[in-house]
Amino acid sequence: MIAKYLDLGANIGRGQAFGMMASRCSAAQAEILRGVRDSGVYKRLGLTWDAFCQEQVGISRQRVDTVIGQLEEFGEVYFALAQIVRISPETYREIAPKIEGETIEIEGEMVPIIPENAARIRNAVSFLRNELQRAKKRDPSLLNLLCDIRARLQYPLDKLKQLAGNMRTPAEMDGVRLMVCQISERLDEIKAKLP
């Protein structure tokens, strides 16, 4: 019985620490809160989930539920990225095609989402955020279309890049060169139409 209350106390302490830095929550903190919520251990204090969040964690139940929802929707990588750069769920959804595992694609390179790469990641996310805002101002439906096109192009372009590095015969190399030239010509046609 005492062990159960010690466990509850430890979780409350972790939750209070979470409350002090709610805007910069880690995946581990979100996991702890989800565990407390799902197990119902907070009821041992005679509290509702709402009251537990307010009194023991120090933030609203809505905020805690939002954080748990972000963990469930995006996984741990969202929190790793949020530790480096402020990012809304909406922006994260838009850049998700550029995220693979625990890396983010920046200028064609998969960059680990770690503090050592913080400056580069912040610049890339800021650039993308500005790009998305400009597109939204022009036409919200255009933004959705552009994001869809980008997501659909990412995989084949990555595969083509991978193939280019693994060609063994002259015929294979010629095939990839031809495809790259055709894609490049189409992109030049599109570029020429831009103001």
- Domain regions of the chain by residue span: 2-74, 84-153, 165-195
Kindly report the backbone phi and psi dihedral angles of residue 105, in degrees, each rounded to the nearest multiple of 5, phi listed first.
Answer: -80, 125
Mean pLDDT is highest, among 17-21, 44-48, 95-99, 147-151, for: 44-48
The Cα 152–Cα 168 span in angstroms is 28
The mean per-residue pLDDT over the stretch 189-194 comes to 86
**How many angstroms separate the CA atoms of 67 and 22, rounded?**
9
Distance from C-alpha of 51 to C-alpha of 16, rounded to nearest angstrom: 13
Q: Whole-angstrom Cα distance, residue 50 to residue 33? A: 13
Confidence at residue 48, expressed as pLDDT on a 0 to 100 scale: 94
**Side chain identity at residue 172, one-letter code:** E
pLDDT, position 184? 87
Most confident of 114-123, 131-140, 156-165: 114-123
Q: At 138, is the pLDDT very low, low, confident or very high (cuts 50, 70, 90)?
A: low
DSSP state of 107: T
CA 69 – CA 48 distance, rounded (Å): 19
pLDDT at 11: 53
Mean pLDDT value across residues 56-72: 91
Q: Which one has a higher pLDDT value, 19 or 149?
A: 149
